[in-house]
Amino acid sequence: MINSFTFIICSLSAFSLFVPVFSGYMLALFMMILSIASSLLSKSSDDIEAKKRFKEQLMPVTRAVCIFVILCTVATLVVAVGSDVDIRGLGRGISSLIIKHIILWTWYLTFWWRLSQRAAYRQVFAYTFLSLALVNLAYCILQRQFGVDWLHGFEGRLPEGRFSGGVFRVSGFMGHPLTLAYCQALASVAALGLSRSVVEKWEKFAWLIGSIGCAAVVLISGSRGPQLALILAFLISFPARSLVGRWKLTLLITFLVGFLAVKYDIFARFTELTQSGMGGDARWVHWQVFWKIFTDNLWVGIGPGGRDAAISAYYLTFGHSDKIMLAHNAYLQYAAEYGVLGLLGLGYWIVSWCRLAKSAPRVGRVLWALIFLICFGALTQNNLQDSEFVLALTVWMMLLITVEVERGEPAAGRRAKAQDLLSREGRKSP
């Protein structure tokens, strides 16, 4: 029964990466229920060891997540005590932090260690991911050309504001183009790394084709930041000597991407950066406003929500619309909302990813590529506040660590010990 539910959750976890985040939260609840149920049953020593090693490997991140949320919560409480603010708004901010960081992370932690014990679980995820990546790509192509939006019914259409350069900016089955693009970029880099880390041939194929499908979605998405971040992350994923050693293949791929980019205007929106009101200058306005909010509320920030009137006043000070906007920069958003305390927590969280990458030699390179993609993307988007993106980060980071645990030294040591024991027994005289 436990095995059957594990297979189902693995499959649904792949599905949750292509749709709104609610499905991921529901799966977290099922994971916790499964963990409680399985704890009542007897476990093998290998299961206990795998679970222990998996949690130990991720302990730096677990600790950092808790410290990050605690520091942001302290900053929020200080704001609540020191000024007249909307307590409900601050409460919602704290609840959001706890749910999408601590609860999501710890509950997923109770489940994913199982994939390091049984490759079949991971392969179910891989094959489901491949199927959904191709379906999502087909839907995004349809959406780009015709503006269909099936999230709002089969008659739904994307708003005209999503029309740019003769095509629609796609959001797939998610709500926002940048959410889709960054989540797909994260999936593409992680899946490519998994294709190089696993052993079984068909699983390698599933990860590779799934990675290509997600990369294609990013390329046609019309989202500039994710396109640039993905290309640079791909370069980090491969050692320089690997690219030089396969220079013919590298040139061929570069030529194909360049040809498609020109033919279908894949990177056309980069030219809009030089046009007034088309993205580049608008972001500069947001950055100025939120930097000013941060410097005026240095230590604990302005609080998460609850002070919309104050944010509007800052926009008016700079001579812009007082419509409430976001920073379009994750670092500035946390700085404005939680001040220096929040930035310290965020920095410690990012450092914990680096420690994880250093401690995982088998998947370390792809983890470094993911860290770059996340941190680079945070410069132009609030990706670290995006619930769908945090869910995707959680899933891919844990999935990569299952490969590290599965192929780690203790397992290899057990095999060597067993072989040595057999060889010694074989040398014994009858």
Query: What amino acid occupies position 347?
Result: G
Q: 413 in a domain, yes or no?
A: no
Q: 291 in a domain, yes or no?
A: yes
Q: 416 in a domain, yes or no?
A: no
Q: 167 in a domain, yes or no?
A: yes
Q: 88 in a domain, yes or no?
A: yes
Q: 412 in a domain, yes or no?
A: no
Q: Which of 173, 157, 159 shows the shortest CA–CA distance to 19?
A: 173
Segment (H or E) for 232: helix 224-237
Q: Which two tokens stand for residue 225?
A: 């930041």
Burial degree of 249 (CB within 10 A; 0-12, 13-18, 19+) = exposed
- Looking at per-residue pLDDT, the higher value among 214 and 161 belongs to 214
pLDDT in tens, 74-103: 999 888 886 666 677 778 888 989 999 999
**Residue 417, pLDDT above cutoff 70:** no
Q: Which two tokens stand for residue 187?
A: 């999936």
Q: Which of 210, 214, 207 shows the shortest CA–CA distance to 172?
A: 214
pLDDT in tens, 132-173: 999 999 999 999 999 999 888 888 899 887 887 778 889 999
Q: Contact at 8 Å (CB) between 387 and 394?
A: no
Cα–Cα–Cα angle for 384, 233, 206, nearest 5°?
95
Q: 429 in a domain, yes or no?
A: no
What average pLDDT does this structure show over 216-236? 90
pLDDT in tens, 302-354: 888 656 667 888 888 877 776 767 888 999 999 999 999 999 999 999 999 99
> How far is the C-alpha of 41 from the C-alpha of 398, rounded, in Å?
24
The count of structural domains within the chain is 1
Structural domain range at position 41:
2-402
Burial degree of 89 (CB within 10 A; 0-12, 13-18, 19+) = middle
Axis-axis angle for helices 364-377, 330-358 (nearest 10) = 170
CA distances from 238 to 172, 211, 242, 405 (A): 29, 15, 6, 22
**Residue 239, pLDDT above cutoff 60:** yes
Average pLDDT of the chain, as a whole number = 85
**Residue 127, pLDDT above cutoff 60:** yes
Reported confidence tier of residue 376, pLDDT bands at 50, 70, 90:
very high
Cα–Cα–Cα angle for 366, 196, 237, nearest 5°?
30
Q: 420 in a domain, yes or no?
A: no
- Strand 163-164 versus strand 167-168 pairing type: antiparallel
What average pLDDT does this structure show over 364-381? 95
Q: Which two tokens stand for residue 171?
A: 């959001």
pLDDT in tens, 9-65: 999 999 999 999 999 999 999 999 998 888 877 667 767 888 899 999 999 999 999
Q: What are φ and ψ of residue 377, in 5° steps?
A: -65, -30
What average pLDDT does this structure show over 275-287? 68
> How far is the C-alpha of 215 from the C-alpha of 406, rounded, in Å?
27
